[in-house]
Amino acid sequence: MAGVPKPTTTNTTSTTSTFQSFANGVDDAASRTGFQAQYQAITAEGQQDMLDAAKMQNALNRTQMLAKLMEAGPKAAKDLIS
């Protein structure tokens, strides 16, 4: 229809999508921070596990060395030293 003015509309989708983009960016940053915290905690736990395993291995080696010395006497001591 000629002569009938078109109704004016405001562009609310642009504002809404800008806000959603910002909110998504904040969510992404929060999830990355959460992931980093979890990763650091897992890494620290893994490091502690490795240290504990090394300590247990050292204790086992000492125990086996002492058992060998007690079993075979001076000859075993000479074998261990050389």
Q: Which residues, 6+ apart, have CB-to-CB distance to 77 below 8 Å?
A: 69
Q: What is the pTM of this model?
A: 0.48
Highest mean pLDDT among 14-28, 37-51, 61-75: 37-51
- Give the residue, 28 or 37, on which the prediction is more confident: 37
Q: Can you tell me whether residue 10 is helix, strand or coil?
A: coil
User: Residue range 28-55: average pLDDT?
Assistant: 88
Q: How far is CA 28 from the centre of its chain?
A: 18
pLDDT of residue 2: 58
Going from N- to C-terminal start, the domains of the chain cover 25-81
User: Residue range 19-40: average pLDDT?
Assistant: 73
